[in-house]
Chains A and B, each alone.
Chain A
Amino acid sequence: MNFFLEPLIMPERPDVFYEVSTARMDVVEKPLSAWEKLYDNGAIRKTALLIILAAAWELYARWLGNPLLVPTFSATVGALFASIASGALPQAAVYTISMLLKGTSRAWRSQRC
């Protein structure tokens, strides 16, 4: 009468053993393409961007053909190395940095007083 109080009668079931093959379930790995690997490398990505920018600069300057407005990138790099070699640029840089450090040390000193 009462459904819940009746003993449960389960039919006898034979044990079953399944043989599971793991032969074709090795680690699934999708190799990154060469492009993705290169793009993931920060140094390479930034270098490539800089090269693109430099090429755009060079092309535009050549197309403009006016070194008084926009000198070419190669001319700029040449001027950079020439100025470094002549000592004018390092001297100016040392002067500026020494001014910056002078300000720093003076600020520290006045803070301490």
Chain B
Amino acid sequence: MFNPLPSIALLPLALVWFGLGAGSVIFVLIHAVLWAVALNTFAGFRSVSPTWKMVGQNYGLSRTGYIARILIPGAFPSILTGLKVGWAFAWRTLIAAELVFGVSSGSGGLGWFIFERKNQLLIADVFAGLLTVILFGLLVENLIFKTIENRTVRRWGMQT
């Protein structure tokens, strides 16, 4: 229900509800991440192989053990995809929120940097800000998510 709603569209409402602080941005970010992660996790749980589920029941695992040792590892490729999509959503939404929202406290973030430099007509600086945003995106994708992927999904042979 909330998935097709761009979370940045909630920012004006969040400003009314939570005031001009970090709270409203965090509300928007949670809205950005939550649905992507939840939908992917749900899809992953539904696609766990019935054989593995039966093996888990055969072993007589407890309810938490069943979830922790069968369902979550079985659904982990989807969960990881959800986390990746959620991270991308969060990053994009945060930059956009900073563009709209400006400075809440302190000196402002990357979005504010871009907006401010555009107002000063320092277009080269705007491009530098965009490059920084891209660089952080690539860094998280290639360092953090690559490491998690190599240690779990690839090691378990669920993804080649």
List residues of A whose CB falls within 8 A of some B CB.
67-71, 75-80, 83, 88-89, 91-93, 95-97, 99-100, 102-103, 106-107
Contact = CB atoms under 8 A, between A and B. Distances in A.
Interface string B107-130: 111111100000001111101110
A24 B62 CA distance: 66
B139 to A, nearest CB: 10
A83 B29 CA distance: 27
B123 A67 contact: yes
B129 A89 contact: yes
Interface residues of B, number: 30
The main secondary structure of chain B at its interface with chain A is: helix
Interface string B52-93: 000000000000000000000000000000000000001100
A93 B136 contact: yes
A107 B124 contact: no
A102 B22 contact: yes
A87 to B, nearest CB: 10
A106 B95 CA distance: 19
A100 B128 contact: no
B30 interface: yes
With a 10 A CB-CB cut-off, give which of B106, B127, B128 has the most chain A CB atoms.
B128
